[in-house]
Structure 1
Amino acid sequence: MNTPRLVPGAALVTVPGRGLALRTPDGAFLRVDTGEVPAVELLRLFDGVSADTEAPRDESGALGRLVEAFQDAGYVTANAPRDRPGPRPPLAGTTLLLLGDRVLTEPVARLAADVGARPEPTDPDRLTARAHEAGSRCAVVWCLDRPVPPKLWDAADALARKGTAWLRCHREGAHAWVEPAAFDANDVTSADVRMRRLAATPAHRELDAYWAASHGHDGAGHTAVTAAYTAALLVGDLVRGATDPPHLLLRRLDLRDLTLTTHPILPVPACTPMPTAEAAP
C-alpha cells in the first residue's frame, strides 16, 4: 500500500496544551497548524494505515493539502510504499581494503559494512595491486595498535594521488592517533603528519628516536571500547568524505579516559631542494 511518510529523522509529537510539533531531522521544532484537520488523522496517516484499517477520510481535501505542504517543505515523501527500501547506504559499492591489527580492523569492518562498504582484508605487499584492481570506488584503512615503524606507510601515501581514499590510525602508549583522511593529492599524508608533529614539539629529536626505535611492550593497547570509538571515527571520515571535503584535523584519543583532542593540520608544501656543495656559490 502507498502512504505518505515522514523523511528519516523527522517526527511528529503532541505537545500538551499546544497541539502538534514537527521535529526536523536537524533537531529543530516547528509548530504545526492542522487547520480543520483533526491532529489524530494526520498522525494516523503518517504512522501508516494497514490494509485492514479504514484510511482517514478526506472529503474536503484539507488533509491532502496539509500533506502537500509537508512535502513542499521537504519533510514528507508522498505516496511512498511502506516496504520501499531505505536510502542507498553512503558507502555502497566501495571496496574497503583493511590492513593492520585485528583489534581495530574487525570493528572497522563491521561498521563499514553497515554503511554499504565491502571490507576485504589485504596485506602490504598486495596493497597497490589490490587498490588498482578495485578501481575508483576503493578506500584503504590501515590500523595499528602500536607505533608506526619507519617507512611502513610511505608507499600508501601515494594512494590518494591515484584516486584511492587513504585513512590510518596508530597507537603511541596510552594515545591513539587518528590522522586526517586523504582523498586526493592535495590532502594530508602520513608524511605530512610526521613533519608537522616534529615541528610542533621541542622534543623533536626524542620523538623521532621513539618512532625509529625497536618497540617492545608499549602500553596496554586498545580495549573493545577504545577500538570501537577509533573505528567509528575512521568510518565516519569515510562517510563524510563521500559527500563533503575531508576535515583537516589530527585527532588524539586518550585510551585511559576517552578524551578526544583535535589539532588542525595542513599538508606540508613542496619546497626547492637544498643546493649541493658543488652548486653552491
Structure 2
Amino acid sequence: MPPEPSIAPVPGTGAHVIVDGGRTDAVRTSSGRFLRLVSPPPRLLDALGGASGGDGEAAEYAAALRATMSAREEEDAQRRWPGPRREVALVGGGPIVDATADALTDWGAAVTRHTDGAALLASVDGTADGDRENGATAGSRAEGAWPWGLVVAYADSPAERGGWDRLDALPSQGVAWLRAYREGENGFVDPICLSADDPGSAQVYRRRLAASLVPRELDTWRRAAVADAPPSPAARMLLTSRLLTLALAWAQDSEALQGYRGTLWKLVPATGTISEHPVLAYDPPSALDRQARQRV
C-alpha cells in the first residue's frame, strides 16, 4: 500500500509542493495551477520545512522554487490590478467606505480618501470653498492631469450626494466615475461612467424619476431624507462586493465593463431583493429661448 500523500507549503508564497507515493513531483500555485517539478532532490521537503541537514542541492532547489513561485504571484497580482490603474480616490465615509478601501488596497489599488467631492477637488487644485460654490467643476482640468484613474463615491443619505453633479465631468477628463448610495435602507450602485456619453449621477436620478410611479413623492422624500441607521453586515458586504466587482472590471478592462456602464444595481434589504435596471444616457435638452414668444 503506497504511503499517504502529503503537502508542503513553499515558504513566503501561496504555493504547495505535493508528495505522492514518496516522490516529490508537482507544485500547486496560489492560482490553482499544477506544475510538474523537474528532478526534485530527495530531501526537498526537509529544505522547504527549514530543516538543517547540510543538503546543499535541496536548499538550492527550494530557494529556486520559492523565487519562481514569488515571480508568478507577482505576475498574477499585476493581472488582478494592473500597475497603470492603481491610483483610486474614495469619496465619503462610514463602514462601507472603510470596507471598500480595505478591499481595494488588499487587491493592489493605491487608495486616497476624501470626505466629499469638494475635498477631492481641493486636493488637486486648491480651489477655495467660495470658488467651488460659484461653479468650479471637475471639467476645468486638462485631460490626463488627474492623479487617479478611478474615483469611487459613497453616500449614506441623499444630502451627502451634494456636489456629485460637479464630479460628473470626470469621465470627460479621462477619469472613471463610480457611485454608490443608500436611500433609507435601500442601496444603489450607479452605472460606472467611462466617458461623457455615460449617464452621470444627475442623469441616473432623472431616469429614476421618469420610471417611478410616484415621482413627486420620491423627489420630496429624497430632498428631506436623512441618513438611516448603519447598514447591516449583509447589506454592507453586498454593496462592497458590487463596488469591488465594478472597480475590478475597470482595472482589468474586462469584457463585462460594457454592461456595467448602463446598469443600475439595487438592493432592498427588507426583502433581500437584488435587481438590475438599464439606464442609458440622453442628450441634454435644448436651452429654452425665452425671447421666442416676443418675436412671434
Instruction: Give the shorter-chain TM-score range.
Output: 0.5 to 0.7
The unaligned stretches of length 5 or more in structure 1 are 1-39, 56-79
C-alpha distance in 2 between matches for 1:125 and 1:137: 16
C-alpha distance in 2 between matches for 1:125 and 1:161: 18
Does residue 114 (structure 1) correspond to residue 106 (structure 2)? The answer is: yes
Specify which of 165, 176, 201 is matched with residue 165 of structure 1: 176
Aligned to 1:249: 263
Q: Which structure has greater helix proportion?
A: 2
C-alpha distance in 2 between matches for 1:201 and 1:162: 32
Aligned to 1:259: 273
C-alpha distance in 2 between matches for 1:114 and 1:91: 13
Aligned to 1:228: 237
C-alpha distance in 2 between matches for 1:95 and 1:249: 24
Aligned to 2:18: none
Counterpart of 1:275, as a letter, is D
1:6-25 matches, cutoff 5 A: none
C-alpha distance in 1 between matches for 2:102 and 2:145: 20
- The percent of aligned pairs where both chains have the same amino acid is 26
| 1:189, distance to aligned residue in structure 2 (A) | 0.4
C-alpha distance in 2 between matches for 1:250 and 1:233: 11
TM-score, normalising length: structure 1: 0.67
Specify which of 186, 191, 194 is matched with residue 205 of structure 2: 194
| 1:223, distance to aligned residue in structure 2 (A) | 2.1
Tell me, yes or no, if the aligned pair for 1:146 and 1:221 is still in contact at 8 Å: no
Aligned to 1:17: none
C-alpha distance in 1 between matches for 2:186 and 2:202: 19
Aligned to 1:203: 214
C-alpha distance in 2 between matches for 1:168 and 1:275: 34
C-alpha distance in 2 between matches for 1:196 and 1:228: 27
Aligned to 2:292: 279
C-alpha distance in 2 between matches for 1:149 and 1:100: 8
Does residue 105 (structure 1) correspond to residue 109 (structure 2)? The answer is: no
C-alpha distance in 1 between matches for 2:147 and 2:285: 30
| DSSP 3-state at the match of 1:227 | helix
| DSSP 3-state at the match of 1:256 | coil
Q: Considering only aligned residues, what root-mean-square deviation do their CA atoms show, in Å?
A: 3.0
- The alignment covers a number of residue pairs equal to 215
| DSSP 3-state at the match of 2:119 | helix
219-228 vs 186-195, greater mean Cα deviation = 219-228
Tell me, yes or no, if the aligned pair for 2:101 and 2:111 is still in contact at 8 Å: yes
| DSSP 3-state at the match of 1:135 | coil
Alignment deviations for residues 177-201 of structure 1 (CA, whole Å, 9 cap, x no partner): 1111112211120011111011111
Note closer, same or farther for the CA distance 1:42–1:265 as it changes in structure 2 (3 Å cut). Answer: farther
Does residue 52 (structure 1) correspond to residue 45 (structure 2)? The answer is: no
Counterpart of 1:279, as a letter, is A
Tell me, yes or no, if the aligned pair for 1:91 and 1:115 is still in contact at 8 Å: no
Alignment deviations for residues 198-229 of structure 1 (CA, whole Å, 9 cap, x no partner): 1111211111111222x34x543312332122
Note closer, same or farther for the CA distance 1:46–1:172 as it changes in structure 2 (3 Å cut). Answer: same
C-alpha distance in 1 between matches for 2:112 and 2:147: 16
| DSSP 3-state at the match of 1:231 | helix
C-alpha distance in 2 between matches for 1:219 and 1:136: 33
C-alpha distance in 2 between matches for 1:149 and 1:129: 17
| 1:148, distance to aligned residue in structure 2 (A) | 4.2
Specify which of 120, 123, 128 is matched with residue 127 of structure 1: 120
Alignment deviations for residues 41-63 of structure 1 (CA, whole Å, 9 cap, x no partner): 986772546842499xxxxxxxx
C-alpha distance in 2 between matches for 1:110 and 1:258: 25
Aligned to 2:131: none
Counterpart of 1:81, as a letter, is T
C-alpha distance in 2 between matches for 1:202 and 1:178: 21
Note closer, same or farther for the CA distance 1:180–1:49 as it changes in structure 2 (3 Å cut). Answer: same
C-alpha distance in 1 between matches for 2:241 and 2:71: 28
Higher-RCO chain (CA-CA 8 Å, sequence separation at least 6): 1
Note closer, same or farther for the CA distance 1:204–1:149 as it changes in structure 2 (3 Å cut). Answer: farther
